[in-house]
Amino acid sequence: MPKTIDAVYENGVFKPEGTIAFKEHTKVRLIVEDIRSVALSTSGIIPSRNSRYADSIAVDPEFLFEEA
């Protein structure tokens, strides 16, 4: 049964953000997904010195992400 486990990558190792209910040496498959916010992951795409302009675009419904 799949489990979602949030973790932090530090010094070449994924460190879970909580206790894990697996026995030692259990083999698992990790599918890694960056969970940064959309704002952080898209920062700088629209070059602008006017932060109000960039903010207005960020909240405009025309540009909101639509889930499939």
Q: Running DSSP on this structure, what letter comes out for residue 45?
A: S
Task: Give the pLDDT band of residue 26 (cuts 50, 70, 90).
Answer: very high
Q: What is the pLDDT of residues 29-58, one digit of tens each?
A: 988 877 766 666 677 776 767 777 777 777
Note the pLDDT of residue 59.
Answer: 75
Are 2 and 28 in contact, with CB atoms under 8 Å apart? Answer: no
What is the helix (H) or strand (E) element at residue 8, kind and residue range?
strand 7-10
Note the pLDDT of residue 41.
Answer: 67
The domain limits of the chain are 7-63
How would you class 5 by CB atoms within 10 Å of its CB: exposed for 0-12, middle for 13-18, buried for 19 or more? Answer: middle
The pTM score is: 0.45
Position 17 pLDDT exceeds 70: yes
* CA–CA dist 50, 18 (Å, integer): 41
